[in-house]
Amino acid sequence: MTEDQTRLADSTNTPKNAADAPPADSLDLKEYTGKYRYGSASYQKTVERRKSRSIKIGPVLIGGGFPIAVQSMTTTDTRDVEATVRQIESLEAEGCEIVRVSVLNMDAAEKLGEIKKRINIPLVADIHFRYKLALEAIAQGVHKVRLNPGNIGARHKVEAVCSAAKDAGIPIRIGVNSGSLPRDLLIKYGHDDPEAFALAAMRQIEILEDHNFHNIAISVKSTNVNTSYYAYKILATMTDYPFHVGITEAGTSWPGSIKSAAGIGAILMQGLGDTIRVSLATDPVEEVKVGKRILRSLELKHEGVDIIACPTCGRCQIDMIPLAEEVERRTAHFKSPLKAAVMGCVVNGPGEAMAADIGIAGGDGIGLLFKKGKVVGEVKEHELADLLVSEIAKMTGEAVAEDDPLYDILGAPPLTHTTDTPPLTDKSGAPPLTNITGAPRLTENPGAPPLGVGSVGPSSEKGARPLQAGSHPAPETKDPRIHKITSGKNRLEGNTSGRGGVLKSEHPDWLPDSAKK
């Protein structure tokens, strides 16, 4: 055993030898099983998720090892179809995968079909007490119903809902919270006892199972983090139905996000959870942002650029925090998973951010570009943000945003294969342009060579984007970071924008003039 292995074993109370291990039925040993091996630093790097049943919510599958879905709930009056659809569209644009709407009365229930037709993600109806609202919601074609069968009333009412859901092939989510605990459990356990939540959920499950209904999801959400955490752990020993995880009524945006991250994160780290909803008293779009960030932080969702940024210290000789915020803002729309570091110290930065795919560090007017901890170039400090964003665009194959300062240089992704746009001609009588997507009618500057087939944009003396394919060289650019045009190849030395850019580089790394040796 090395000294480091010994320290790790001591710090985690891991037995150094199998003979020293506690009995196999020890709870502590069970928690270590699969995470640490005796006397070694080998640990489980990914969360081992609970084996749950899978259910289908429209096109989205949850449970059974399928990706954890992020969902939210509208705050609009469901009877206002236009407002509700607008909000759902904004949620969908942010990455919401399932959306729930409240069904206050029959007027709201009758609007669900119209709402469903106009959105692209599964629609869930939230029902309380009135079973006929559930029946109408199912008739309108919702993808899931959330209700507690114990609140519905007589047995024939529950049977009617189960029968309708079964015929439609949609699941029912049982949602237990402090407000829905049965009176006898409240008297015995109080509002915040996790055992009461788990027992209440099992009672609701048994009602549905008595009607031979098994297409079920469950949530046991308290506003208390500890209660929720232990309630899910207890319930996991009782059933294998998929879990909808959250901390209910978590609060306003800032404290609610912290509480949700602590609670949902802790539950997910136990391998529990198949879909999540962050409950915040704010715009529900923020719920989706926080939910996605929780999953990304736990490496349960691999999407987007993850910015690693040092908190700065007295060694920092660069205005690093605004720099990190700028890079984060300019790369927020990228979908490809990538780790990028923004560090404030050229001495320790690259080494401290070795886990990053790419990063920058700066100080005293100097900026370094590094990949996997290895310095690959040196630039002027003020060029760092543009350099990092352009490299990220190249590595991900995605375009910078249209309002990004680099857009006119790197351009948009290639436009391909459609007949939606009428043939375009130029003033020189060149053949019609084809194979473009949604481009406006183009003209050339007098005397310019004919346009070739490929990715095109508005032509003007200022800011014109070069062509991707064709027999003509790209237009000149005055940007100092572009060094020369190689005619015939349509390449710019120094521009490695990949899919996001129109021209490709002869060099492995895009670097400004100051980096050229």
Here the tokens at position 39 are 């006397």
CA dihedral 387, 415, 92, 284 (to 10 degrees): 30
Residue ranges per structural domain of the chain: 1-45, 55-297, 305-394
pLDDT of residue 345: 78
User: Which sign does the torsion angle of CA 407, 408, 409, 412 carry?
Assistant: positive
- Say how far apart CA 308 and CA 408 lie, in whole Å: 27
- Smallest CA-to-CA distance from 372 within 362, 358, 385 is with 358
> Which of left, alpha, beta for 472 (phi over 0: left; psi -120 to 50: alpha)?
beta
260, 288 Cβ separation under 8 angstroms: no
Average pLDDT rounded to a whole number, residues 185-202: 93
Average pLDDT rounded to a whole number, residues 224-249: 97
- Say how far apart CA 272 and CA 167 lie, in whole Å: 29
Here the tokens at position 223 are 């506003």
CA dihedral 99, 105, 106, 110 (to 10 degrees): -30
pLDDT of residue 313: 81
pLDDT at 43 over 70: no
Average pLDDT rounded to a whole number, residues 427-455: 37
User: Which sign does the torsion angle of CA 311, 339, 267, 245 carry?
Assistant: positive
Cα 143-118-247 angle, rounded to 5 deg: 50
pLDDT at 365 over 50: yes
Question: In Å, how far from its chain's centre is CA 387?
Answer: 25
**Fold adopted by 55-297:** TIM Barrel (3.20.20)
* Mean pLDDT estimate for the chain: 77
Residue 140: which pLDDT band, with cuts at 50, 70 and 90?
Answer: very high
Would you list the DSSP string of 347-382?
Answer: TTHHHHTTTSSEEEEEETTEEEEEETTEEEEEEEGG
pLDDT digits (tens, 9 = 90+) for 69-93: 999 999 999 999 999 999 999 999 9
Of 212-226, 243-257, 375-389, 447-461, the range with the lowest mean pLDDT is 447-461
Name the residue with tokens 């037995």. 15
Here the tokens at position 197 are 């939540």
Q: What share of the chain is helix, strand, coil (3-state, %, to 5)?
A: 35, 15, 50
With 0.75 as the threshold, say if the pTM is over it: no
- Say how far apart CA 420 and CA 243 lie, in whole Å: 45
376, 350 Cβ separation under 8 angstroms: no
Cα 111-116-120 angle, rounded to 5 deg: 155
pLDDT of residue 412: 61
pLDDT digits (tens, 9 = 90+) for 445-491: 444 443 333 333 333 333 433 333 333 333 343 433 333 322 333 33
- Say how far apart CA 421 and CA 443 lie, in whole Å: 15
Of 61-65, 86-90, 282-286, 408-412, the range with the lowest mean pLDDT is 408-412
- Say how far apart CA 320 and CA 343 lie, in whole Å: 7
Here the tokens at position 246 are 């959250």
Strand 123-126 versus strand 144-146 pairing type: parallel
Secondary structure (H, E, C), 118-183: CCCCCEEEECCCCHHHHHHHHHCCCCEEECCHHHHCCHHHHHHHHHHHHHHCCCEEEEECHHHCCH
- Say how far apart CA 247 and CA 261 lie, in whole Å: 9
3-state secondary structure of 16: coil
Burial class (CB in 10 A: 0-12, 13-18, 19+), 169: exposed
Q: Considering the chain, what percentage of its residues have pLDDT values greater than 70?
A: 70
Element (H, E) at 309: strand 305-309
Top mean pLDDT of 200-204, 307-311, 510-514 is at: 200-204
Q: Give the CATH superfamily of 305-394.
A: Sulfite Reductase Hemoprotein, domain 1 (3.30.413.10)
